[in-house]
Chains A and B, each alone.
Chain A
Amino acid sequence: MSLLNVTGLGITFGGLKAVDDVSFAVKPGEIVSVIGPNGAGKTTLFNMISGVYMPGRGKVELDGQDVTGTPPHLLARMGLSRTFQNLQIFQDMTVLDNVLAGYHLQESGSILADLLSLPGMHRRAAKARDGAMGLLTRVRLDKAASQEAGSLSYGALKRLEIARALALNTRILLLDEPAAGCNAVETEEIDHLIAELAASGIAILLVEHDMKLVMRISNHIVVLDHGEKIAEGDPATVSRDPQVIAAYLGAEETEAADADG
C-alpha cells in the first residue's frame, strides 16, 4: 500500500507546461528520487505535492485520501513535511527555536496560556524542547542550539532544515537537494541520515543532483525531462535507459553550447 500517490500531475506557467502528466507512488520506508536536468520541473513537482502551488491537473493522494491543492499547514498535520532547495530557515531565531517551530502542531495550545505563561504551556514547551534537543543531537547541532540560525554554515543549515522537518510526526519527507553545496563529509552524513530515516519507516521523496548519492540510496528513481516523466525504475535500470542518457547528454551539450555562446 503506497503512502503517497501522484497521478497525472501537471501545471502550466504562462502557457509553458512546467510539469506535465507525472505519476508515481512512494511506500513507507522507501526512498524515491526524482532526477532530471536543470529546469526539468523537479522543484515545481515538489511545490505541487507539498501544497505550495495549486496543480493545474492531476491528483495527489496521501494515505488514499485526495489532498490535491491542500494548503501546506494542513498537509503537515497529515505527516507530510519538506525542505527547500534554497534554504528557508528562520534566520533571526535561534537554532533551537527553528526546530521548536517544527513542533508547532504538538506544542501549541490556547493563546491565553501562551500570553499568561500558564503551567500548561510550560509543560508542552518542555516536552517539545526535549524532542528538539534530541533531533539537534541527531544532526549534530546540539552544541549550537542557542546560536542565531543566521550564523551557521551552509551545510549546518541544510541539516537544521532536516531536523526541523522531522519535528512533525513525519511520515513522508520531501527533500529538495539536501546535499547541494555540501562537501564530501557532509554529503556522506546526509546520506546516512536519509538511510536511517527510511529504515525507521519514513517515506522519502528526494530531489538530488549528486548522482552517486542517488544511485547508492534510492529504491526507485523517477526521471523528468522538460516536465515529463521519461523513465522510471530501480537505479540499475534507469542508468542504462537510452532516453535518460540522451536527456542528460543533451542537457550537457546545450549547456556547453550556451557557455560557448
Chain B
Amino acid sequence: MFFRILRKDLKRKKTMNIILLVFIILASTFAISGTDCAVSVFGGLDYYMEKAEAPDYIVLTRNSELADQWIADLSAMDSVTNCKKEEIFFFSSTCLLKNGERVSDVSNAVMGFPVSGTIINYFDRSDRVIKELAEGEVYISGPLVSDEDFKVGSTFELTLADETITLKVAGYAKDAIFGTSAMGNPSLIMSDADYQRVRAAEGIKPYLGTRVYLNSTNVNEVKDYLGLQSGILFDGDIEMIKTTYIMDMIVAGMVVLLSIGLLLIAFVLLGHTIKYSVVEEFREIGVMKAVGLKNRAIRGLFLVKYLGLAIVGTVIGFFLSIPFEHALLEEASRNMVFGSENLILIRILMAIIIVAVVLLFCYHSTRKVKKLSPVDAMRNGMPGERYHKKGLLSLAKSHLPFNSYMAANDITASPRQYSMIILIFAMAMVLIMVLANTANTLRSGNLAPLLSVTESDAYMTLTDSTMKAMASDDPYALMHEMEEIERVLAENDMPANVYVEVFYKYPVEFNGRKSQVQFLHCAETKTADYEYTDGYAPENKYEIALGEVLLKELGAEIGDKIWITINGQREEYRITASMISLSQLGQVGRLHPDVDVHSQDISSGYPFQIDFDEKVSGKELERRFDRIRELFQPQELLEVDGFVESSTKAAPMVSALKNLLLIITIGVIFLMTALMERSFISRERREIALSKALGIRSRDVLVHHALRFMFMLLISLILAMIFCIPATHLMDAIFAVMGAGKGIRYKIKPMEVFVAYPLILLGVTVAAAFLTALYTKHIHAVDTADVE
C-alpha cells in the first residue's frame, strides 16, 4: 500500500518531482564543487608545491663551477638534504624569432631545459606531469603564454650561439617556481634531442645557466652561506616563492566566493522548493489522515519519497560537479595545480550532507502534519479561522495596469514564499556585484598603494633616461632628468610636477645577519603618502619602513634598529613601520626622502610619474598624452589603471575569470528562474485555466508571469544595491593578504555594477520566465474542468 501510494505520487506529480530532482541536482553540484574549490584553494599552494616536488630553496647562477662549489659546501651542512643542480639555457627573449623577426618583448630572461631529468615537476593545462615531448615541440610557460605569437600550434625559432631550431608550441606548462606573473620568467620545456642539438653549438657557454635545488631543515643557515657568495642571479626559499602567488590566490578566492554564494543559493532554493512542494501535498495529507493513516506513516511516505529523490539527485550532482568544478577553477588554475589528497572523501561526505539536508528540510516541512486535522490539511494547511483580507493591494483601488496588479498582488499576498525568491535573486546579484567590484579593483589604480607608488596623472617609462642616470657620475643625475622633463612639459603648456620612485640596493645588517635590500626612495613625495600595515611613516632620514617579508627574514620588528650602508656610510636606522609591496616579492624597504641617495646605486625604477598642475581629464588628457608621446617617445605612457594592470600582469586572468563567473551566475539564474516558473505553472495550473475560462487572454497570463519575476528582481536589485558595498568589504580579507587591509578603496563602476549587470540579469530573468511561461499556452480554459 505504502509503495503503491508512493509510485502513484511520483507518476502523478511528475513535473513537480522532476523540478525538485533538478534542484537537488543543482544544489549537490554547487555544494560538492564549491566545497572542493574551497578545499583545493585553501590548501592549494602547499598541495601544488608538493605535487611539483618543489625544494625548500632555489639558487640560479650562470656559473656552473660556482654551483658545484656551493653544492659541495651546502651538502656538508647537517641541515641540508638532497642538494641537486640542473643545467639550463638562460637567454634574453631577443633569441626568440619568427621569420627572423623578434617576437617577444618579455623583459625577464627565458629559461630552456630538456623534458627528461627535470628536478621539479612541470604540468600541462590538464595537470598531467609533462614527461615527454616529440622532437621540434616545446611547452611554454610564464608571460609567453599570453603572447599571441606563442599560441598552441604556432612555431617560432630559437637562436642560441650559431644554432637555430624551429619549435612548435605543443602546449602551456605550469612552472611552480618561475611561472607566476610576479616572477615572470618564461620557460621552454624542450625535447631532449632539441636541447642536445642546441647544447652542442659552438659558443653556447654564455647562454648556459645552472639551477640549484636543495632541501634544508634550517633555511637561514643556507641563506647566511649564500649571502656571502657572489654570482647569484636569484635565490629564494619556498615561502618567498609562495608569496608570488598572491594574485593567483586572490583570483582563486573569487572562485571560492562564487562557490560559497552558489552553495547558499542552492540551499535556500532547495529549502524553499521542498517547503512549497510539501504544502502542495496538504490535500493528500488530509485524505490520508481522513482514511486513518497515522502521522508517522504519512511523514514516512514523504521522507521515503524525498530520500529517493535526494539519492538520485545527489548521485547525478556528484558526477556533474566534476566538470563544473574544472570550469570554475580553470582560470584560477592557469599557473597552479589545485587539488587535495582527500578530495574524494570530501565529495562523498558532501553528497551525504546533501541527502541529510534534503531529509531535514522535508522533516521540518512536514512537522505541521502532526498538528493538522484532516479538514485543516485539506484546506492547504490553513486552519480556516483567519478572517481578514489577503494581500496589501486592492484590484479596484490600484492604479497599476491589470497584469502589473496581478503580478504585484501575488508577491504581496504570499510574502514569505516570494521573499525567499527575492532573497535568492538578491544574493546572486550581490555576488555578481562583489565579483565585479573585486575584479575591477584588481585592475584599477586603487591598487597603486600596494605597488608602493602614489596615484598620478601619467606614468611614463623612459628606460634610456633611467639608464643614463644609472651610468652617470653625477649623484643627482636622475633629478636632472626629472627637471628636464618638467621643463619640456612646461614649454609645451603642460606644467607638471615630475618624480620617480627608484629602487636603491644597499647592504643591511641586523643581529649579525647581512642582506642586500632594495629600498624605495622618492625625493618628491612624503613617506606619509604611502600605506603601511603597522607602525607610523618614517619621519626623518634615520627612520625607515620595511616589508613584512623582509622583517620576517631578518627576524626584526618595528622599533628595532638596523645598520644600512649608504654611500659608504654605515649608519643606524630605526624601523618605524611595516609594509607590503607587490614589487620585488615584498622584499623592500622605504627610505625617508631626506636620505642622500646616489644615482649609481639605482637598481631599478618605476616609470616617471607626472602630476599636471591643473586638473585634467577626458579629451584634454588624451591630447596631452599624444603630445607627450611626440615629445619623449616613451616605451609606455599609462594612466594609473593601466600602470597597475601592466605591473601586476593580472588583468587578463582577472578579466577572463570575471567573465566566466558572470556567465556561470547568469546561467544559474536563468536555470533557476525557468525551474521556479515551471513549478509555479504546475502549482497554478488551476488558476491559469480559470483565468482563461473567464476570458483573460493567453498573452495576459504570459505577461503576468514574466512581470512577477521582473518585480521580484527589481526588489532584489534595491536590496542588492543596499548590500553591495558592505558585501564587497567581505573581500577585505583577501586584500589584507596583499597588505591593503587598512581600507582598500574598491573600484566601483556604477554604470557597470548598478546599470549594466542589473539590466543583463533583468533581461535574463524576464526572458527565462517568459520562455518558460510560454508553456501556459498549453493550459486551456477547458482544463478548468479536469484540473482536479
User: Are A and B bound to each other?
Assistant: no
